[in-house]
Amino acid sequence: MEKRKSIVSYILLVIAIIVVVNILSDRFFARLDLTEDNRFTLSKATENILDDLEEPITVKAYFTEEGLPPNILKVRRDFKEMLIEFGNLSHGNVVYEFIDPSKDAEVEQEAMQNGIQPVIISVREKDQMKQQKAYMGAVISLGDETDVIPFMQEGSAMEYALSTSIKKLAVTNKPVIGYLQGHGEPALAELQQAMQSLQILYQVEPVELTDTTEALGKYTTVAILAPRDSFPYSHLRQLDDFLSRGGKLFIGMDRVDGDLQTAQGTEITTGLETWLEQKGLLVESNFVVDQSCANVTVRQQQGFFMMNRPMPFHYLPIINTFEEHPITKGLEMVMLPFASTVSFTGDSSLRFTPLAKTSKKSGTQPCPTYFDISRKWAEKDFPLANLTVAGVLSGKISGNMESTIVLVGDGGFCVNGEGQQAQQHQPDNISLFVNSIDWLSDDTGLIELRTKGVTARPLDQIEDGTKALLKWLNFLLPIILILIYGIFRMQRNRVLRVKRMEKGYV
């Protein structure tokens, strides 16, 4: 009887412990982040933003709660856990509530009026697929100001979206970034993707240089992208004066131009290349070619039909070799169309840091050149390796104050264009430009969040031998582990049988 009571008491104690643990885990939680880039651990940048909050931030999360697949419900749970962490780190300055718009028509209307549109998700139910609306957005408020995250993504993108939204509302005086115009540069309207990110922390305004007026005095950072017309001496002198005051420049520069309509590659001369060469930065008038490249679509005759066929175009190098630097941290793949090589020719009084390099199978083509789309490229066409296409120059570049130039040997890598000619760039292209502006202008650390997480790891850029090794490893490793465990158990059972047959075994 006593033994039975003891067992019942033990079971009740275990149940009570489980209940208490579940209650505590709902209020408090901890997790072990084993991901390569700590994507589920809040960054120092987020901690700094939350620590600096002076007024409460309200997050109204519109999430559908029922009838969704587990991976979608996980986004809601992860977002809630992140908001708990935000609230703790902000000392209670981040408050939140979750609302399910699917349960009330008025609330659903409110969500859509606030900018939260439903997404259509395929759900399997009773061996059939059906379409269901799901709300996965949030409205962030600070006083009378609001910002909307229309769709919440999982992982590190969630932290970046929430942190930048809070920073956007909390910052009062945004630094002003000058964007140079007047030399054939694309207008700000042609940088839609970049401007979407830059406007969170900065006010970006176009600036034109004149022969008589100093126009760069109000800026600490100035960006120059893809100039095509000549720089007068007076404009170059103003750039010198800007650097002599400790100014910071971002320059994305085209030394060559490729026209796929005429299949011609020509040189671009603006005078800026000569000015840079005087600083020790040489941008060659050549075309970088790389075995790692993007494709172009070519129309070819196939019997009686004309077919569109993608073909590698080696003048569109895909850069995936980056130096350890805040600008390039987290970048994995940047496409630089018609890029040129960058090299440092100055002395040891200045510091030059390469940022991005070509692959181990690359080369250069002289300018002018003719693009032969049907050309069969061979190994000998890529005799060079790790050519620098972007870098940072720091030091007393002009005058006696420390200044900085970030230089990319291509100007159109983040330019979308306008109208029907506009094109969408991959995220890392935009991050290279925006990270550069952040590093030159901002010390909050959001630069680390933008590129936190894996963006692209294409299998076609893995060596064939590595692919085969990974394939066989995935296939054989589970089998080998099962065999090892089986042998271990067999040996253990054999030893146990031998012991049982020994005299005196109890």
The C-alpha atoms of residue 10 and residue 12 are separated, in whole angstroms, by 5
**Overall average pLDDT of the 289-318 stretch:** 84
**Per the CATH hierarchy, to which homologous superfamily does domain 43-170 belong?**
Glutaredoxin (3.40.30.10)
One fold for 43-170 and 176-258+270-288+320-361+386-457: no
The C-alpha atoms of residue 199 and residue 389 are separated, in whole angstroms, by 27
Q: What is the pLDDT at residue 459?
A: 54
**Diameter over CA atoms, the chain:** 109
Q: Which CATH number fits domain 176-258+270-288+320-361+386-457: 1.10.15, 3.40.630, 3.40.50, 1.10.3470?
A: 3.40.50
Give the C-alpha distances (Å, rounded to integers) separating 49 from 114, 160, 201, 446: 25, 12, 12, 9
**Overall average pLDDT of the 221-233 stretch:** 96
Q: Crossing angle of helices 44-51/156-170, nearest 10°? A: 30
Domain residues of the chain, as ranges?
Answer: 1-30, 43-170, 176-258+270-288+320-361+386-457, 466-506
The C-alpha atoms of residue 202 and residue 174 are separated, in whole angstroms, by 5
pLDDT above 60: residue 454: no
The C-alpha atoms of residue 410 and residue 226 are separated, in whole angstroms, by 7
Element (H, E) at 378: none
In sequence order, the 6+-apart residues with CB closer than 8 A to the CB of 351 are 393, 394, 395
Q: What is the pLDDT at residue 339?
A: 97
More confident residue, 422 or 355: 355
pLDDT above 80: residue 350: yes
| Residues 433 and 240 sit within 8 Å (Cβ to Cβ) | no
Strands (E), 145-263: 145-149, 176-181, 203-208, 221-225, 248-252, 256-259
Give the C-alpha distances (Å, rounded to integers) separating 117 from 28, 150, 192, 439, 483: 31, 7, 22, 34, 52
What are the pLDDT digits (tens) for 373-404? 888 899 999 999 999 999 999 999 998 999 99
Give 332's DSSP letter: -
Instruction: State which amino acid sits at residue 323.
Output: E
What are the pLDDT digits (tens) for 400-446? 999 999 999 999 999 999 887 889 999 999 999 999 999 998 666 66
In sequence order, the 6+-apart residues with CB closer than 8 A to the CB of 228 are 183, 184, 185, 254, 268, 270
**Overall average pLDDT of the 61-83 stretch:** 87
Average pLDDT of the residues of the chain: 86
Most confident residue range from 306-315, 334-343, 470-479:
334-343
| Residues 336 and 315 sit within 8 Å (Cβ to Cβ) | no
Calculated CA dihedral for residues 380, 386, 392, 395, nearest 10 degrees? -100
Residue 422's CB is within 10 A of a number of other CB atoms, namely: 13
Residue 210's CB is within 10 A of a number of other CB atoms, namely: 12
- The HSE-up count of residue 498 (CA atoms within 13 Å, CB side) is 6
What are the pLDDT digits (tens) for 205-217? 999 998 777 889 8
What's the predicted TM-score (pTM) here? 0.73
| Residues 296 and 287 sit within 8 Å (Cβ to Cβ) | no
pLDDT above 50: residue 487: yes
Instruction: State which amino acid sits at residue 201.
Output: L
